[in-house]
Amino acid sequence: MTEEASPFEVFRCPSCNKPTTATLPACRHCSAVLSGERAGETAGFLERVFGITSPAGRIGCIATAAAPLVIGMAFLALPDRKASNPGNGLSMPPVSSAEMVKPAPVASYTTYSALEKAKVCRAATAMMFGRDVNTINATQVGGLTRISYRRPDDNKLWKLDCQLDDEFVVWRPVDAFGNDGPGRWRTSPEDDKMTFVMEGRMVAITLHYVDGSTATETYRF
């Protein structure tokens, strides 16, 4: 009796010259359709092992077998979200202020709810100016978060606009010298920078000073 060739025989694809097997209707590397004797080996294997004789049945069997491989390859192709998002913890390594110069934010600001914006901006103001976060008010004005509080020693009303840009908090003073309106956004290399992490009711604010040092405070809302 003549020994029949194994359907698991590995051979080189005539299209890409990479190894594949006779159990596949197409090359696993370049997707070239395997024809002739190799295709016959695939059909014979499915008929002998699974009793599948119809073309539709063969296609269904092969698709079912290949599905986990396709899903696994798609999963491996996904980007590493953890690596692309450094703000995934409450502690941050020191980063020089000059390395974090950003323009006034516009794009990512709308990804936060009004309540989340208020929490972060109130916490950032408390961190910057050493105020009790419970004495700081936040309202939405023209798409910005308007912060206000009264200084205890002279009862002067202080106001500022605040926005969130990715993990950064940026701000500008409002009516700092009477009714002069908004000042400039604090985004130049000479300005200290602020980053935030929000987890549930906790907001951690890290102040990055221009000398490279940092300080972090955590607030509970």
Summary mean pLDDT of the chain: 75
Residue 33 has a pLDDT of 72
pLDDT of 73 strictly over 50: yes
More confident residue, 50 or 124: 124
Among 79-88, 119-128, 198-207, the minimum mean pLDDT is found in: 79-88
Confidence bin at 187 (pLDDT 50/70/90) = very high
Q: Give the integer Cα–Cα distance in Å for 103 and 188.
A: 8
Q: Round to whole Å and give the CA distance between 183 and 173.
A: 5
What distance in Å separates the CA atoms of residue 71 and residue 199, rounded to the nearest whole number? Answer: 32
DSSP assignment string, 126-181? HHHHT--GGG-EEEEETTEEEEEEE-TTT--EEEEEEEEETTEEEEEEESTTSS--
Looking at residue 16, its pLDDT comes to: 76
Q: How many other CB atoms are found less than 10 A from the CB of residue 211? A: 9
Asked if 217 and 195 touch (Cβ cutoff 8 Å), the reply is no
pLDDT score of 202 = 95
Q: What is the pLDDT of residue 184?
A: 95
Q: Which of 177, 191, 180, 182 is nearest to 146 (CA)?
A: 182
Whether pTM exceeds 0.75: no
Residue 100 has a pLDDT of 52
- In this predicted structure, the answer to whether residue 132 has a pLDDT above a threshold of 70 is yes
Query: Structural domain boundaries of the chain?
Result: 10-76, 88-220
For residues 99 and 166, which has the higher predicted lDDT (pLDDT)? 166
Q: In the prediction, which pLDDT does 48 show? A: 59
Report the distance separating Cα 115 and Cα 199, nearest Å: 13
| pLDDT attached to residue 11 | 64
Quick one: pLDDT at residue 177?
Answer: 87
The residue among 42 and 76 whose pLDDT is bigger is: 76
**What's the pLDDT score for residue 7?**
44
In sequence order, what are the beta bridge partners of 159? 148, 174
Q: Which of 169, 17, 8 is nearest to 104 (CA)?
A: 169
In whole angstroms, give the CA distance from residue 73 to residue 78.
9
Provide the total of helices (H) and of strands (E) in the chain, helices listed first: 4, 9
Average pLDDT over residues 18-25: 63
Q: Which residue has the higher pLDDT, 7 or 175?
A: 175
Lowest mean pLDDT among 82-86, 124-128, 186-190: 82-86
